[in-house]
Homo-oligomer: A and B are copies of this chain.
Amino acid sequence: MTLNNTFFALSDPTRRKILQLLKKKDLPVNEIAINFDITLPSLSHHLTILKGADLVSTQRRGQQIIYSLNLSVFEEIAEEIYNFFNKSK
């Protein structure tokens, strides 16, 4: 179920902070890493979870992997969450 993955992905503060950073602009892993005190493998683990929830997508640029918000999916999720919270549904 999609909401499972989504809420799980969002339930970790590190992952939410990653998403906030990506709201401003697309970033490669090493620049995301600057904002955290965890190792690259740990960060990579969180990025994998965000990707599994379809909240972010990646594209390679040379040696770097650029992460960006998956905006269309983001909007779908926002709607699902809205429905979830909507009393009348």
Chain A residues in the interface with B (C-beta under 8 A): 1, 3-4, 7-8, 10-11, 13, 16, 19-20, 23, 69, 71, 74-75, 77-78, 81-82, 84-85, 87, 89
Interface of A is mostly: helix
A19: chain B residues at CB < 8 Å are 84
A78: chain B residues at CB < 8 Å are 81-82, 85
How far is the CB of A16 from the nearest CB of chain B, in Å?
Answer: 7
Known: A10-B11, A23-B87, A71-B87. 8 other contacts (CB 8 A): A1-B13, A4-B11, A7-B11, A7-B16, A10-B10, A23-B89, A77-B85, A78-B82
Q: Are A3 and B16 closer than 8 Å at their CB atoms?
A: yes
